[in-house]
Amino acid sequence: MSKIKHIQARQILDSRGNPTVEVDVITENNILGRASIPSGASKGKHEAFELRDNQESIFFGKGVLKAIQNINDIIAPELIGKSVLDQICVDQLMLELDGTENKKRLGSNTILGISLATAKAASNELNIPLYKYIGGVYTRSLPIPLINIVNGGKHSNASSIVFQEFMIVPVKANSFTEALQMGHKVFYKLRSILTKKGFSTNVGDEGGFAPNFNGIEDVLDHILEAIHMANYEPYDQIAIAIDCAASEFCKNNQYDYSEFERSEKKTKDLIKSREEHIHYLSYLVKKYPIISIEDGIDQNDWEGWRLLTHEIGDKIQLVGDDLFVTQVKKLNEGIEKKVANSILIKVNQVGTLTETIETIHVAKKNKYKNIISHRSGDTEDSFIADLSVAFNIEQIKTGSLCRSERTSKYNQLLRIENTLGKYSFYSKWN
């Protein structure tokens, strides 16, 4: 039984150039496990607390030196000598040290860094792949990628589109490798179309293009054009998924589509009631090959979620992100109220690997689909790729096909496929 010998934390930079936490866990056999923590731009109100220094003179208040100090001075001394193979014990001890419901004392970024690094150290200690260490002998399939192609909302400083993400889904790929090839072809066809029309091809936080489109349907029309130019059939071969991030533009129970307009214009038809907003989403699903909508309704609007689920929940995937924030308590509330049918899984929303796994199991038990997800401010750490394979998760969101913090996850999944074989791909949507 190998024990933890040393824990060391440091401040590094994420994909937006902001500080984040990196943790090394070293065993008595000098085996290293290293993890770095992502951060979101649009965050659910009920996410676990992310600890920042809030000193404006240092990284504009975004430093994480308090988190580093908590690791080195408070948590590390309690974990030295504990078994690196006892993930539940390690996570539970940190939760007890924190003692708050949302990890406000020590910070979720503090606790999660150790939690993930411990799992990596354990898999390295046993000399088995991380996905197999976490998931065990039943690990057998790779997820379908939801490939980011256009960024809007808080993920872009240039685009005026209120919805946050537009993704393509290679539903008829026969392997993960083929899925990426299909996505790559559509991504670069879209780039060619945008270039010819004089649009910017700069990318947003998650690697998708972020030109100043003329509204949501203009985005979808361009994506359809790219799918056709790539010689794929919309819906049958490549479908579309969107992340509305509705909590970012819902004010006083109204959905303000002009919230992210770069001009000062405010027109009445861009401010929709809950019912008008739901009607518009239903219209988009009928008009375009959309098979998944994430955060279509504000995180606190349970009645809106009930209405949306009743309207289109039997037709497409409805994903709760800000709604559930990867927490069992919130997911159980949604199950009881019969809203949504899928959950986005983000490890830093809840703060430990153990709690993340518990949420995944509750979702599976209640026939909610799981989608493993990155964050808009991410690192080259590919942990979520292994996590998706560990529990045979149906789908993964890890951004576009550019920027190393995005491609690192895809590359790890390609390595895993090379080990498991191409027939390990989760090749069915429903």
Selecting among 346, 369, 397, 409, the annotated active-site residue is 346
Q: Which of these, 320, 371, 381, 329, lies nearest to 350 by C-alpha position?
A: 329
State which amino acid sits at residue 5: K
Strand partners, 25: 7, 33
Please confirm, yes or no, whether 82 is among the known catalytic residues. no
Q: Which of these, 165, 173, 128, 124, lies nearest to 147 by C-alpha position?
A: 165
CA distances from 16 to 40, 176, 245, 264, 294 (A): 10, 28, 20, 27, 23
Selecting among 125, 206, 248, 355, the annotated active-site residue is 206
Buried/exposed code over 41-70 (b: 16+ C-beta within 10 A; e: otherwise) = bbbbebbbbbbbbeeeeebeebbbbbbbeb
Token digits of residue 94: 């940190």
DSSP string, 233-277: -BTTTBEEEEE--GGGTEETTEEETTTT-SSS---GGGEEEHHHH
Q: Which of these, 139, 137, 159, lies nearest to 148 by C-alpha position?
A: 159
State which amino acid sits at residue 413: L
Please confirm, yes or no, whether 261 is among the known catalytic residues. no
DSSP assigned state of 71: I
DSSP assigned state of 300: T
Q: How many CB atoms lie within 10 A of CB 329?
A: 12
Taking a C-beta distance cutoff of 8 angstroms, is the pair 397, 148 a contact?
Answer: yes
Buried/exposed code over 167-195 (b: 16+ C-beta within 10 A; e: otherwise) = bbbbbbbebbbebbebbbbbbebbbebbe
Taking a C-beta distance cutoff of 8 angstroms, is the pair 239, 171 a contact?
Answer: yes
Q: Which of these, 99, 196, 96, 183, lies nearest to 148 by C-alpha position?
A: 183
Q: Taking the mean position of all CA atoms in its chain, how far away is CA 158? A: 22
Residue 268 CA to residue 196 CA, distance in Å, equals 33
Q: List the catalytic residues.
A: 206, 346
